[in-house]
Chain A
């Protein structure tokens, strides 16, 4: 593998981590969706690059799904849902931007330490790709934890899935079944979420998950 191939793969994966950080501190829903679209776009580029350097044409399918479905269809539909529901644009966060960013950096450091130590025998591209992928997954988790808004949590979950796709494509020659399933699961997950959002709206007039919190635990 030539040096430049390696560098570009790195650049794209690293950009994905960076965009995850961008998502972390957005406090408006529309901005968050735009950043997510960028996240998915970068993923598509990264997967396409992997397809090219691995000479694995089936990965182009995964890239296309990421491009069309995740970078265009989902952000647009979520955008519409937000408009139709007329929900407030500010996202309430559980913790402030500062602590969230610091926690994010800690998670990235953690995944680097863990993955690079563990995968010493694997080929360098795969192992560093995997380290980046784990960072994206953990940042997605962090975002889900720090958001109270249902849409924010959903975006967190979707960027987590992006991290998984990055990991799956980085693992050379992984059977197609998994890539399709990942994309497919996002599709299903999104349908479910769409239904949920509408149902929540019917009942509560808000998608702020905190409004549901009073129903938690035992019935009174």
Chain B
């Protein structure tokens, strides 16, 4: 096997994980972590210029190319943020050097698992990769070993495993459906083969398989009512992991669902997967929007906001059609960038304030203008106000829905508005008013946060024609 960009995306994190587990010095490993994610990003970008032929295990097409670049980019910026975040955690003694070593190694394993899940052409391999990603994040969520962290990790582990188990059952059913048509053996699990022949599969088996896959991977996406693990896991783990969970891992699980949705779309006799996604999406959106009001923990607040946005994205892909798919893709990209930027800000804020309680922080714009305004900008973006990128994608989702299903659009807009008000209610007490809590100077790296926000801002003002064309192409592919 020759060494190409595709293997690079996998080999670099794997090698880095082994190295990071072996090296003791924290400063060197933090830098090595950044270097590894940079290299992975370069390999991912080079996939644009030449991509290998799909094999029976790996595949790069326009759809997962988008996901891979997004994943490696956010993985890179998060590693930069993580270097300064972890430095502070070491200083205050919340983490000890062995745990930091473990943390860095796990970070790279997670990157490896997510990349593998994205480029897998084999539905069994994809399942293995998502399972690996789940296990590494479980370990990282529990890394602080406090009561809350352990409870969150346990809950995440149990719910995640059940989800993963159901997804495997769904995967087996897909194989059962494919076997009479494709024949026994490896080919019946290769996605490119499956999607060509899916029209001849037994529709009843495919339906059942999709229900299991939807419940299984849907748990990992965090769609209500399968979301129970998500707020705890976000709140109790290290903040870089919250950023990666929200920005990337939820997307990866959604990507798996999209692949199977495309499979069902080929078979005219199978159920339409769209309405299922639309329903779950709307439930998540409205439920999470209301949950924003009673949050007292800043990381939980943004975790619920992630559920809300995954709901919107699932809704958009569920509606289908070139325009809604385009909006869904754009929204997913913008949400990843914005939400990770918010978590970068939140990470530094909680370190400065020494707490995650919203009641104990206030007047951030006075005491820490950079962090305060960064957070405001992030929340303005995530709430979907113009002129930032999320406004555009939400506008597209809403307008395309109004044209096709006005009733659904009304629910959608209602959920969006409720969520917007909830976020600003909380933001107000955090960013403005009397300064509360410690006002020590923050040792923060602002570059990743503002880089993300600048991208989101730029996308709201002007989208390059090449990017639009790329997204349109993928949207058509999604059907």
**Which chain A residues have a beta carbon within 8 Å of chain B's beta carbons?**
114-115, 117-122, 126, 130, 133-134, 137, 141, 144, 150, 153, 157, 160-161, 164, 167-168, 171-175, 177-178, 181-182, 184-185, 188-189, 192-193, 195-196, 199-200, 202-204, 209, 212, 215-216, 218-219
Contact = CB atoms under 8 A, between A and B. Distances in A.
A54 to B, nearest CB: 10
B204 to A, nearest CB: 4
Nearest 7 pairs of A and B residues by beta carbon: A173-B184, A118-B204, A212-B151, A178-B124, A181-B128, A215-B151, A175-B186
Contacts of A121: 180, 202
Nearest to B122: A177
Given A175-B186, A192-B135, 16 more contacts: A122-B176, A137-B165, A160-B165, A164-B168, A164-B172, A167-B172, A168-B172, A172-B179, A173-B179, A173-B188, A174-B175, A181-B131, A196-B153, A212-B154, A216-B151, A218-B295
Contact of B296 (A167, A196, A204, A219): A219
Interface in B175-194: 175-176, 179-180, 184-186, 188-189
Interface of B: 122, 124-125, 127-128, 131-132, 135, 138-139, 142, 145-148, 150-151, 153-154, 157-158, 161-162, 164-166, 168-169, 171-173, 175-176, 179-180, 184-186, 188-189, 202, 204-205, 207-208, 232, 294-297, 300, 356-357
Does more than half of chain B's interface fall in helix, strand or loop, or is it mixed?
helix
A115 B207 CA distance: 12
- Main SS at interface, chain A: helix
A181 B175 CA distance: 16
B151 A153 contact: no
**Most chain A CB inside 10 Å of its own CB: which residue of B131, B154, B184:** B154
Contacts of A137: 165-166, 169
A189 B202 CA distance: 34
B176 A203 contact: no
Nearest to B208: A118
Contact of A185 (B128, B153, B188): B128
B162 A160 contact: yes
13 contacts: A114-B208, A122-B176, A122-B202, A160-B165, A173-B185, A173-B188, A174-B172, A178-B127, A189-B135, A196-B150, A203-B145, A215-B151, A216-B151
B147 A171 contact: no
A157 to B, nearest CB: 6
Nearest to B209: A118
B168 A182 contact: yes
Given A119-B204, A192-B135, A203-B147, A171 B179 contact: yes
A200 B60 CA distance: 42
Nearest to A56: B184
A134 B165 CA distance: 11
Nearest to B129: A181
Contacts of A175: 124, 185-186, 188-189
Nearest to A197: B154
A209 B147 CA distance: 12
B150 A118 contact: no
B300 A218 contact: yes
A126 B176 contact: yes
Nearest to B165: A160
A219 B300 CA distance: 10
